[in-house]
Amino acid sequence: MNCQLEVFPVSKICNVCGKGPMSGNNVSHSNRHTKRRWLPNLQSVKALINGSARRIRICTSCLKAGKVKRAV
């Protein structure tokens, strides 16, 4: 199975689906809002891309869904 690999220049983005950081607020008990970020769970794996093994960073949801073929 070959996947379409998009090369994103930043490190916290999945190379398969493009999932990246999300932003929102921490809300304290007194209802004060401060900014925070949720980062995707990225793993560095060796995958077969166009017949050759390459190291890419993909999120665990893409890894679990089988969107990439891991190199042995």
Burial 23-43 (b: 16+ CB within 10 A, else e): eeeeeeeeeeeeeeeeebebe
Tell me the CATH number of domain 1-19+40-72, given options 2.60.40, 2.30.170, 3.30.70, 2.30.30.
2.30.170
Alpha-carbon torsion, ordered 39, 47, 9, 12, to 10 deg? 10
User: What pLDDT, on the 0 to 100 scale, is given for residue 10?
Assistant: 73
Using one digit for the tens of pLDDT, what is the confidence trace for 46-70?
999 999 999 999 999 999 999 999 9
Using one digit for the tens of pLDDT, what is the confidence trace for 1-60?
455 555 556 789 999 999 999 999 999 999 999 999 999 999 999 999 999 999 999 999
Which conformational region is residue 63 in: left (phi greater than 0), alpha (psi within -120 to 50 degrees), or beta? alpha
User: What pLDDT, on the 0 to 100 scale, is given for residue 7?
Assistant: 58
User: What pLDDT, on the 0 to 100 scale, is given for residue 67?
Assistant: 94
**Which positions ≥6 away from 43 have C-beta within 8 Å?**
57, 58, 59, 60, 63
